[in-house]
């Protein structure tokens, strides 16, 4: 991001760091001396792996803080903890090739997210230390993730085995997600939308489980700022020119009696662009407002996620939030490529939290959608008059669509190294991919009967073949938050079938056809059962098969996962979870989360 973009990003300033703790057998007189170089080399290999692989949401490499010395006892453990506190460490990884004194060398900070890598070698019992210190963590109530390679390696090997590297990186990604949320805000722009439970913002959830505060504001703030011109006027002019050049207008699907004049549609564009600028400024502030004498407004609400109420108190009178939501959730705008902002349609704060999780785990944009319809092959044939090819889906498809438009990244016009559709971190997106996303999207006058105040809605169809993970975070009375996960693929339908099905809902809204991976068991017996067991009307779609990352993150936050199709060998939770059952992992997850409770309780 450019300097100007960074000043308008929630990811400016100091980022949380990962502390690397090399622990060692403290016995001087030959034992410790023989292990110093190997132990510190193992720690440095983790630093190098993380620095070259992981990035913060602002595109900068993730920073690690290495303890000054190997940790052989409590004095050195304390010195490392002190260094970590001064350097903003929230996540720690302990590494060792040998036996160490468990309770004397372990990370005892209750606020850090912890993992231990015990080197699998026969010369020294690093794996024995791993088991011993994990037992100490479990006994003392500080859950930690245990990392242990499958294959025995000779002492002195510097390369990190592939299975170990994967666990180290997955732990680091999820731990940083926890750290990046801590102390930030969710901005509730307006109140409850159309009685949707997810938009009844639960402060306890955000505070106790995520370590975030909820900031509330009334939508009259938008009216006031629009009327008083409290936004960057120069940026508004730039944005308006960009919209005119890049946001292609499509067909007006309104009945003739419901169409709006060209003059009014142009006014709606102006208001929609201003709303996007104001929503961003409300989230993270804007130094330009201070230059205008608006010092208080320039500060923003320190929000890394937000929701816009929209329907109906706002949309009955003013243009809807569709442009606001679409462009802020996208990885680019008139200023160029940048990290997406997270804005939930209809102020569904639970879906906003899910979008935030997905963004922090992948650094890529997220699709907000209704899980609108299950289409069986028979129903598709009846509605379209055509047979759905058997090789497209196993058992029908799910229609993901919402009046609040998803990020333009969701068109699927970005590609991975093999040419498959995906959604990428902004620094990996090419200029030609930005252009392709824009060309794949058309903007339509909103349906007046839905939105009397007007506005513009996006239309696109997600390119098929994108590995995807659909999730939903729900609140359950007496239980608390619980997560659902379904890995699958986006599906390309022939235009004739797509148009027939799409017109049954609303052709001015963005569509993703999604086929979950079926396991033949439980909620994943069929696509119908996936929808039948879904906990709410909304969902989040993340690019990639990252259900395993969601499971790891949920365990860190003490949020149980009650529906998923992630294979058992990919599941990575703290070692303490095994004490709550090794046969039924879903039940063990519930028991462990209840036992430990939210991390900020």
Which residues lie closer than 8 Å to 459 by C-beta, 6 or more apart? 250, 441, 442, 443, 444, 507, 508, 509, 510
Alpha helices in 430-546 (DSSP H): 431-439, 495-502, 527-532
Rg (CA), the chain: 25
DSSP result, 228-271? HT-S-HHHHHHHHHHHHHH--B----S-GGG---HHHHHHHHHH
Query: Which of 107, 232, 235, 370 is flagged as catalytic?
Result: 370
Assess whether 370 carries a catalytic annotation: yes
Torsion of CA 253, 254, 260, 264, to 10 degrees: -50
Which residues lie closer than 8 Å to 162 by C-beta, 6 or more apart? none
Query: Which of 202, 346, 348, 409 is flagged as catalytic?
Result: 346
Kind of pairing, strands 442-445 and 343-345?
unpaired
Whole-angstrom Cα distance, residue 54 to residue 469? Answer: 20
Alpha helices in 141-292 (DSSP H): 162-181, 203-210, 220-228, 233-246, 262-284, 287-291
Strand partners, 461: 511
Assess whether 432 carries a catalytic annotation: no
Whole-angstrom Cα distance, residue 535 to residue 519? Answer: 19
Closest CA to 280 of 242, 215, 327: 327
Whole-angstrom Cα distance, residue 596 to residue 138? Answer: 11
Backbone CA torsion sign across 264, 269, 272, 273: negative
Question: Known catalytic residues?
Answer: 346, 370
């Amino acid at each position: 991001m450019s300097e100007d973009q960074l000043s308008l990003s929630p990811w400016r300033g100091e980022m949380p760091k990962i502390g690397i703790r090399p622990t060692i057998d403290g016995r001087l007189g030959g034992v410790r001396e023989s292990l110093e170089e190997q132990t510190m080399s193992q720690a440095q290999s983790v630093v190098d792996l993380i620095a070259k692989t992981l990035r913060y949401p602002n595109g900068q490499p993730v920073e690690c803080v290495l303890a000054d010395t190997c940790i052989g006892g409590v004095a050195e453990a304390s010195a490392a903890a002190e260094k970590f506190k001064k350097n903003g460490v929230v996540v720690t990884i302990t590494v060792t090739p040998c036996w160490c004194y468990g309770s004397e060398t372990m990370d005892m900070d209750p606020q850090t997210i912890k993992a231990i890598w015990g080197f699998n070698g026969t010369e020294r019992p690093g794996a024995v230390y791993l088991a011993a210190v994990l037992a100490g963590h479990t006994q003392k109530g500080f859950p930690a993730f245990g990392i242990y390679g499958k294959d025995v390696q000779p002492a002195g090997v510097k390369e990190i085995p592939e299975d170990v590297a994967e666990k180290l990186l997955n732990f680091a990604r999820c731990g940083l997600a926890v750290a990046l949320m801590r102390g930030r805000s969710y901005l509730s722009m307006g109140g409850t939308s159309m009685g949707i439970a997810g938009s009844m913002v639960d402060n306890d959830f955000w505070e106790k489980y995520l370590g975030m505060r909820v900031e509330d504001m009334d939508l009259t703030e938008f009216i006031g700022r629009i009327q008083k011109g409290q936004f960057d006027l120069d940026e508004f002019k730039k944005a308006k020119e960009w919209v005119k050049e890049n946001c292609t207008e499509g067909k007006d699907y309104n009945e003739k009696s419901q169409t709006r004049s060209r003059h009014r549609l142009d006014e709606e564009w102006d208001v929609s662009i201003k709303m996007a600028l104001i929503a961003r400024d409300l989230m993270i502030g804007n130094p330009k407002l201070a230059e205008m004498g608006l010092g208080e407004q320039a500060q923003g609400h320190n929000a890394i996620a937000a929701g816009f109420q929209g329907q109906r108190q706002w949309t009955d009178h003013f243009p809807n939030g569709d442009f606001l939501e679409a462009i802020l959730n996208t990885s680019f705008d008139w200023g160029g490529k940048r990290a997406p902002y997270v804005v939930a349609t209809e102020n569904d704060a639970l879906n906003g939290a899910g979008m935030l999780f997905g963004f922090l785990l992948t650094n890529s944009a997220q699709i907000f959608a209704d899980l609108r319809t299950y289409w069986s092959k028979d129903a598709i044939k009846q509605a379209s008059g055509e047979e759905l090819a058997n090789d497209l889906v196993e058992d029908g498809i799910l229609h993901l669509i919402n009046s609040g438009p998803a990020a333009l990244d969701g068109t699927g016009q970005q590609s991975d190294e093999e040419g498959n559709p995906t959604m990428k971190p902004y620094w990996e997106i090419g200029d030609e991919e930005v252009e392709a996303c824009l060309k794949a999207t058309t903007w339509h006058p909103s349906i007046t009967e839905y939105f009397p105040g007007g506005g513009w809605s996006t239309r696109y169809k997600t390119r098929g073949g994108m590995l995807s993970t659909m999730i939903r975070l729900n609140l359950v009375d007496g239980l608390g938050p619980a997560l659902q996960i379904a890995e699958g693929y986006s599906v390309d339908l022939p235009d004739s079938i797509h148009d027939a099905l799409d017109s049954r809902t609303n052709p001015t809204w963005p569509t993703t056809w999604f086929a979950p991976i079926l396991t033949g068991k439980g909620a994943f017996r069929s696509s119908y059962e996936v929808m039948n067991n879904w906990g709410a009307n909304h969902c989040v779609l993340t690019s990639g098969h990252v259900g395993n990352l969601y499971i790891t993150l949920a365990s860190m936050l003490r949020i149980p996962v009650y529906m998923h199709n992630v294979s058992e060998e990919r599941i990575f939770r703290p070692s303490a979870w095994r004490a709550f059952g090794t046969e039924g992992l879903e039940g063990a997850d519930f028991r462990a989360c209840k036992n430990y409770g939210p991390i900020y309780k």
